[in-house]
Amino acid sequence: MTDMTANAVGSARPARAPLTRRLRFGSSASGVGHAGWGRTVGAAIVSLIYFFPVFWIILTAFKTYEDALAVPAKFFFTPTLENFAQVFSRAYSAGGPTVNTGFTLYFFNSLFISGVSVLLALAIGTLAAFGFSRYPLKGNDTYLFMILTTRMLPAIVVIIPIFIMFRVTGLAGTYLGIIALYTVFNLPFAIWMMKSFFDELSPDVEDAARIDGSSDVRVFFKICLPQVLAGLAATAVFGLILTWNEFLFALLLSGVETRTVPVAMSQTIGGDIGVRWGLLAAIETLFLIPVIIVTFALQNQLLRGVTFGTIKR
């Protein structure tokens, strides 16, 4: 509501302003105004450049093998759904029997492993962040720093020790193992992110809730948590994207039954007739859908989440 009013005021003003002011780049007395057509077109071009690879992948997913390889690249062609069908079942050699590729399982694995590990990281991270924010330890910052250091190493540095640990403990190839790993992987980010959200909340509000007869648990769930929904959404989306696309750990630590889509995709690259770009693009297109859905669903919260603290105060 407020935004709309502000926009209306902003757009009404330049019309009444003297000509010199109107010619300046969309500035208005209130600081709110339209960017103007020039800037909008500029932004559109930059966005298109960014979006082009994704657009190209989606386009390729609907091409035949020949169209996908055509030089010069084809923008107009007869679309086919063949690639999408072949994601789930196809013949591995020319004229061979059509078999199930297992991608139904891999998609389930990706969803299940990412979903559970992000939810776990969110639950643990939010509680930890609340603790760090509201009941600081002696040397609080040191602990927070230590948590972050685990993310300062490139994954490849720790992959061998982790691989050995997983082998010894029997976690390799299990859901438990990969979910636990991804949870730990997401935790530092979740803790830091959520702590900054909790830090922004007014302590008075919690004091008021305590005086109104709330235990610490009730204060957390009834008062604090509803105020950081935007933060939860932002953390969830970032964590999800990170986990969803993770390849290295998944490659080495998942088994046949727990294989995720990125790993399975890499194993699809080979074949008797060379790389089947159309097929890969179809997998990739399907793979994009869940992330896009989640991001869209959380869009409003997400925008508030990433701008939190920069706009307020």
Partner 1 sequence: MSTIELTGVTKHFGGFTAVKNVSLAVSAGEVVCLLGPSGCGKTTTLRIIAGLERASAGDVVIAGKRMNDLRPDQRDIAMVFQFYALYPALTVRENIMFPLHVEGLDAQTGADRVARVARMLQLEPVLDRLPNHISEGEKQRVAVARAVVRDPNCFLFDEPLSRLDVELRQTMRGQIKSVLTGLSKATVIVTHDQLEALTMADRIAIMRDGVIEQIASPHEVFARPTTLFVASFIGTPQMNLLTAQFDGVEGAHGRFTVDGQPIRLAVDPAVKRLAKGQVTIGIRPRAFIPDGAGGADTIAGRAELIEPMGAETLIHARTPLGSDLRVVVPREIKVKSGDALSLRTDARETHVFDGSGMAVRA
d(CA 293, CA 232): 17
- Among residues 1 and 94, whose Cβ is nearest to partner 1? 1
Q: Give least dist CB 230 to partner 1, A.
A: 11
Instruction: Tell me the H-state helices in the chain.
Output: 2-16, 19-23, 37-61, 65-69, 82-88, 103-134, 140-149, 155-169, 175-200, 203-211, 216-218, 225-227, 229-244, 248-253, 261-266, 277-297, 299-307
Q: Give least dist CB 303 to partner 1, A.
A: 17
Q: Give least dist CB 231 to partner 1, A.
A: 13
Q: Give least dist CB 206 to partner 1, A.
A: 8
d(CA 161, CA 288): 32
- Among residues 95 and 213, whose Cβ is nearest to partner 1? 213
| Amino acid present at 56 | W
Helix (H, G, I), strand (E, B) or coil at 31: coil
The position carrying tokens 């979910």 is 179
Q: Residue 174 contacts by C-beta under 8 Å, 6 or more apart in sequence?
A: 255, 258
Binding residues vs partner 1 (CB under 8 A): 1, 202, 204-205, 207-215, 222-223, 226-227, 229
- Among residues 196 and 214, whose Cβ is nearest to partner 1? 214
- Among residues 85 and 208, whose Cβ is nearest to partner 1? 208
- Among residues 46 and 205, whose Cβ is nearest to partner 1? 205
d(CA 27, CA 21): 8
Q: Give least dist CB 290 to partner 1, A.
A: 28
Q: Give least dist CB 201 to partner 1, A.
A: 9
- Among residues 204 and 272, whose Cβ is nearest to partner 1? 204
